[in-house]
Amino acid sequence: MSKWSKLQKDPVLFFKDMWKKRLGSVDRSSNTSTKGKSTANYQFNPFFKYTHLLHTGENASGLSHLDLWIPHFINAEIKFVVMVRNNELFELVKKKYPQLTLLYAKGDKEVERYIEKMLFLKACFYPSNTGNNLHLLKFNEIKHIFIGHGDSDKTASAHKYFRVYDENWVAGEAHIDRFRNAGFDFSGLKQVKVGRPNLKETLLISQTPWQERFNGNLNLLYLSTWEGVYEEQDYTSVYLIDKFFEEIKDKNIFDTIGIKLHPWVGRRDTKLLKTNAKLNALLSNSGVDYNLYDKTMPVEEIIKISNVFICDISAVISESLAANTPIFVYMPKEKDIKLSQSSMSYEDYTYVFSSIEELMDKIEEVIVNGNDYLAEKREEAMEYILGRDETLNDEFIEQLKRIEDGRC
Amino acid sequence: MLHTADPKLTVNHVNFWLSEIVKSGIDFSILVRDEKSFTQLTKQFPKLQICYAKTPVDVETVVNAQPDLKVVLYTSNLARNIHLLRFNHLKHIFIGTKNSDWLSNYNKSYRAYDEFWAGGEYAITRFKESIKNIGHLKLKSIGKPQIKENILYTAKEQNTSLVLVEPKNAILEKIYFANVEQNLKSYIYLPEEKKDIYQNLESITTISGIGNKIIPVTTKKIVDEFAFKVSLIITDNKNFIPYLLTYGTPVLVYIEDEEERHSLIPDIIQDSLYYWTEYQELIDLLQLLHLQDPLKESREYIVNILFDKALSIHDEFKKNLIKTVEQL
């Protein structure tokens, strides 16, 4: 059948074949592998008016970044598409969110081909700073918005590269202060407070005092960070935390202990890959009610069932803050820690420790003796860091709709 | 630090800027991102501090090893520049490459830099048209220091031509006969691989007794020397044109058709060139130029827009570099 006769006799088939040819096959099967391919799409239809694009340039580990935002993009009821740059991640997202429109574009040419098909695209959203974001940033007519994947005082939170974006969506005033205190001009970057939509439920739970939750039980949660891409960002307590569990296991302070390591622990320092096994061996016959959470377990879910936290410097501090409970933060003393400071330091609202002895002393004072002396400051930090009001008022969804409506 | 990340063009980029940075007298290093270029450059410049960093962690090591580092100069806007742009304590300046002022597609990612240095008003205007909100970014015209001598050298040898063409499609023959007919002394560039044409040309000029008039040359260095003193340039190489204009002499461009004329980049050079396709058109142009040069003013205007003559002559690049380092 010639193209012309196909158009006359079966227009649906004609257009289907045309798009197949132009975009590669439209893959609706979750079993088809993209291994070795440089482009693939799932449920992409160029006749839809996609207005928002959520992009991650990470490899398979980028799933946690997407998990943070996809539910809220869905809740906003906007026409959005997710673009990934790694075929393994493409398969993971397709499996986890079969209702989404998904694109896999390996290189800049593939990105270009898809963007040119989305005539109504208004904004691209970036949860992390990766080099390949550049392939989208070259489209000047689209708004480029950094949404991040958490909120922390790490140096990665506020640096000059952020200026490539049109807008930086932050949780609260704290993140804007990090930019103000970083010592460079960012006048072209619009800062927009949107709260932390994934923490809304936790914020609602936090309205009950932490001592009264879970029938008065004390559920401890340890959340480590990883060793960082750069030495200057190595804030992890993983090197010493086994000593803490050794100390605590016979003391009967906590009713349950949860442990969740950052999914990337061991990425730079492979010695750390054995941490989970080591902790398991330590606690398995101790009589402690403990749980070693899988790396895929969303942090916000386990935060909701915990009321005491031990954290490293990372975005999990602000996640834990939403629960409004005592937080013990590891601050390594021997290292020259470079932080992009907001106007509230960790010492203001968390119990900072640099050694296991110090941690044990503070747990004794705050938990055992019941002297939660930073409770008031913590409340203040919840607004300043998390944007409590914006979170409870669904500001993120409101801002997504603003883009859709073309409001500035 | 001069940072260049394009694996295929690293050596070219370094060669383009190196002597200008050396002239500033500032202590500097070079950071490259591919091993092959590193090997080549360390061989070429054994006394320079040249670093190779493949990964973000390697870049961090290089930066940490240079506590006095203040400024990074970028020749190209590539994805891996992000590894350096995250350092807030450094000033990041985009200086581009030989042709980037007219070939680059400017986009919002350039806002990562603190300053954008361009040859002249042409690139600045293009930049502003592409990116509406430039925010903090300082756009500066600094000229192109590499063309300073081209502009300053004004002693031209009358009735001489420099021929830069790809010897194909009988273009070279047309130029040869036109030069002979108009009695021009002509330097014809023929790269090494065109040995047979070189020999043919040498033999015919010797037999005809015009060996002192038609002079084939094989090295690029000699071409640069001739470009300073000839009274006109004949070419079909469209990429060289902006720089050929800086010599201040008429440029006669071979085009196959009108369409080719309108596809020249940057577009503003199109009205400052003489065009020819047929033999007779070339003869007519050579005769005209013997009497007058109607595009002289237009040429000067274009060179000024592209390269800012005054700033190029007065070492604005060097001055800005020194000033920037001193201020930090």
- pLDDT tens by residue, B22-54: 999 999 999 999 999 999 999 999 999 999 999
Q: Do A163 and B112 touch (CB under 8 A)?
A: yes
Cα B124 to Cα B71, B101, B104, B323, B325, distances in angstroms: 21, 8, 12, 21, 23
Which of these, A40, A110, A120, lies nearest to A79 by C-alpha position?
Answer: A120
Residues 6+ apart with CB under 8 A from A65: A56, A58, A127, A128, A149
Q: What is the pLDDT of residue A24?
A: 45
Task: Please provide residue B157's backbone torsions phi and psi, each rounded to the nearest 5 degrees.
Answer: -90, 120
Which range among A51-55, A271-275, B1-5, B296-300 shows the weakest confidence by mean pLDDT? A271-275
Q: For residue B324, is pLDDT > 90?
A: yes
Round to whole Å and give the CA distance between A169 and A194.
Answer: 6
pLDDT band at B278 (very low <50, low <70, confident <90, very high): very high
- Flag if B135 and A189 touch (Cβ within 8 Å): yes
Residue A151, pLDDT score: 65
Q: Does A161 lie at the interface with B, CB-CB under 8 angstroms?
A: yes
Ordered strands of the A123-126 beta sheet: A39-42, A102-105, A80-84, A52-56, A123-126, A143-146, A167-170, A190-193
Kindly report which listed range (A197-201, A330-334, B108-112, B256-260) carries the lowest average pLDDT score. A330-334
**A3-200+390-405 CATH choice from 3.40.190.80, 3.30.2350.10, 3.40.50.11720, 3.40.1280.10:** 3.40.50.11720
CA quadruple B200, B201, B204, B207: dihedral, nearest 10: -110
Mean model confidence pLDDT for chain B: 94
Where chain A has pLDDT below 50, the residues are: 22-31
pLDDT of residue A23: 46
Mutation pick from A163, A166, A339 vs chain B, by most beta carbons of B within 10 Å, is A163
If you average pLDDT over residues B181-200, what whole number do you get?
89
What is this model's ipTM?
0.87
What count of other Cβ atoms lies within 10 Å of the Cβ of residue A62?
Answer: 23
Closest CB from B79, B83, B88 relative to A182:
B88
Regarding pTM above 0.90, the answer is no
Instruction: Write out the two tokens for A282.
Output: 């330590």
Q: How far apart are CA A140 and CA A131, in angstroms?
A: 17
> Which burial class, exposed, middle or buried, applies to A383 when counting CB atoms under 10 A from its CB (0-12, 13-18, 19+)?
middle
Provide mean pLDDT across the span B188-202: 87
Asked if the C-beta of A163 comes within 8 angstroms of chain B's C-beta atoms, the answer is: yes
The backbone torsions φ and ψ at residue B115, rounded to the nearest 5 degrees and listed phi first, read -140, 150
The domains of chain A are located at 3-200+390-405, 205-388
Q: Which residues of B touch A132 (CB under 8 A)?
A: 79
Residue type, B163: V
User: Which domains does chain B possess?
Assistant: 2-144+309-327 (3.40.50.2000), 149-307 (3.40.50.2000)
pLDDT of residue A345: 87
User: Does B144 contact A at CB distance below 8 Å?
Assistant: no
Q: Which of B85, B134, B135 sits opposite A161 (nearest CB)?
A: B85
**Would an 8 Å CB–CB cutoff place B265 in contact with chain A?**
no
Interface test with A, best of B54, B62, B88 (most A CBs within 10 A): B88
pLDDT at residue A28 in the model: 43
Q: Would you call A166 and B133 a contact, using CB atoms and an 8 Å cutoff? A: yes
Same fold, A3-200+390-405 and A205-388: yes
* The pair of three-digit structure tokens given for residue B166, joined into one six-digit string: 């790809």
List, as one string, the DSSP characters of B188-225: EE--GGGHHHHHHHHHHHHHHT-TTTEEEE--HHHHHH
Q: What is the DSSP letter of A119?
A: T
Overall average pLDDT of the B232-239 stretch: 93
Confidence (pLDDT) at A340: 60
pLDDT at res. A228: 78
What is the predicted pLDDT for the residue at A27? 44
Residue B280 pLDDT grade (very low, low, confident, very high; cuts 50, 70, 90): very high
Out of 3.40.47.10, 3.40.50.2000, 3.40.50.10470, 3.30.360.10, the CATH code matching A205-388 is 3.40.50.2000
The average confidence (pLDDT) of chain A is 88
- A362, containing H or E segment: helix A356-363
